[in-house]
Structure 1
């Protein structure tokens, strides 16, 4: 009888595998959009891979978007979302452009960009907080889009 319980416990422990960290893949579909109120927004999709056989809950997205070392967008999203098990998932993010910081940047490099002599990169830096079974994990984001040409819609 003891061997029966011991074998059941061993099977359960063998079948339980620790939660693996979620992998950041890339950022795609970045766009600069204008709203009806003449506000500027940057939207993008963050691609994450969940290697686990359980759903992972995203609790917080905290990402800053930089143009040449100037923060132009700060995204703080606390809406919970789920990553499906053993698959890639997409998180849609959007944030309003800080017009004062954008103006400061354009005062420095705007003419060179307009004349086509210079190109600008967008850098996404931040973290995403994920949780499964009460175990928290942080996914670090550090991704650069080398050229903003073609992003303005």
Structure 2
């Protein structure tokens, strides 16, 4: 069974996304909505990670040794400055959140196949919140794009 590989990916990706949300919040503190929402979304990711703990205890978590670079995402270690920097940082968060989202989808399919009610419950709750994170990131990028891409600095 390869479910532990995806549980490991999900566990690590949620942690990475939480750290990245915090990095963007601190790097763009002049944008109050970004600051506060990114901190809230980081807490949400940490709650997802905690919700996975009993599942990981039951099934385990592993990493594929033969292709680790393909099942890995680095957190944002720095933020960029200015309007274009904000747009790019939000775009990076969107990419990380997309990885988390599609991984929840794959784990959900496995949970349904296993008829694991506890895992299905965790997935449904966390998957919905991740979808909301993606919607906010998309909306915030749409808001930031005109300022970043058209208005001269």
Do they fold alike, i.e. is TM over 0.5? no
TM-score (norm 1): 0.23
Q: Point out the structure with the larger strand share.
A: 1
TM (norm. structure 2) is 0.23
Greater relative contact order, per chain length (Cα 8 Å cut-off, separation 6+): 2
Larger radius of gyration: 1
